[in-house]
Structure 1
Amino acid sequence: MEDENDCISSDEEDQLDFLLGEEFGEDDDAELYSPPNVDTLSSQDTCSSQSSQSISDPLERHIYWKDDNTEDNGNVDLRTTPFKPTRQPGFQTTNFTRRQLQHLKTPLHFLNLFMTVEFLTTLCIATNHQANYLINTGKYSSYTDNGVWEAVTTDELLRFFGIIIYMSVVKLSALEKYWSTNVLYDHCPVNDVMTKKRFQAILCFIQVTSPGDIDKGQDCLEFK
């Protein structure tokens, strides 16, 4: 039975014990306490309101209310799990030699860390196989030169991705306007890098895996 002279109720005292235990790292695996009635925090006398004001911030930081309709899927609640990366955020230089770091001077140098020759070669092979496969089945013949597909190269793929990056920065209302001859679009360099027909052809056929290497019985989104 609660003492009439107590400044806080038993429910609030349980909450405070829980918060203090969490602050000092006690029993990290313990089940989160769920108070029976949230209204008790706002229904106290003057002394109680002063106490509840002092613990309002910890409650907001640590307690997330759930009801009976909340499904427990076993996933960790990211709101209650602090983000503690094992390494400092940002570009990691530990795997590079001093000579390699000295050559990282331009944005293109950093792009080449991801667009490696091996990666671009794999894309070229898969894209050319995909193009020949679809063209031989009678599709997208308009992208051929006299019925023959012109194989894409690694240099051409770099220019293709450069256009994609440029389009993500300079946004126009329609794709055709990047190749427009209107004086309003004279500043756009895309037409000097690649023709619109060739860009659309690569965009249509680009592939990561050759059609013959795709296992259609396997879920593509399944992680091993």
Structure 2
Amino acid sequence: MTDIENTTFKRVMLKISGEALMGDTSFGLHPPTVQRVAKEVKSVHDLGVEICMVIGGGNIFRGLQGSAQGMERTTADYMGMLATVMNALAMQSALEELGIHTRVISAITMNEVAEPYIRRRAVRHLEKKRVCIFAAGTGNPYFTTDTAAALRASEMACEAILMGKNVDGVYDKDPKKHDDAQRLDRIGYDEVLQKRLGVMDASAIALARDNNLPIVVFSLDEPGGFKGIMAGEGTYTIVED
């Protein structure tokens, strides 16, 4: 028994950073945090919503940082892609412990641990209510996991990209630095780009805009926040035209 008819969206892309899985640690994965996020995903999956996920790799390795420290950029980016696969496998394990069938789908071929990306097969997984975690970014250096999320969301015909952050929406300035920062309920893609508000990188915002994909920014730290969005409740910002 599901409540899919009453949900705001029927198929969504959930994008979270690798850092969101660190918990209070300074590096790597914090298993209780991974399990908590998995429970949030399960609460929405139980409604009958079809869920795609993209998880960053910054908790393990970030290509830009490696490049800044003298590593060749392409090599650093591929290392970052492999970090996203590790995070995807951890999330798959946590979800399957909760009884949710999950597929890790990698843009880099590694048949022993993940499926290769084949669009039609991935769509079929979603139709069968399996959670699809897209790993290894786009499979290309110089592209972030934000762009991968926008690309896969477009290919999977998702109705929205949900950005799970550590703040409850988009602010007109950094709320951690400015006490008078104002949260915005709604904002346009072009304004996000012009003001460099840091929702996603510019390529991802442009791709979402060109495909009319709303971006919902919410706090992943707020219990029930993901499920609340499906009911049109809670605190969040919508980026759209």
- Larger strand percent: 2
Considering the TM-score relative to the shorter chain, is it more than 0.5?
no
- Larger helix percent: 1
TM-score (norm 1): 0.25
Structure with higher RCO (Cα < 8 A, 6+ apart) = 2
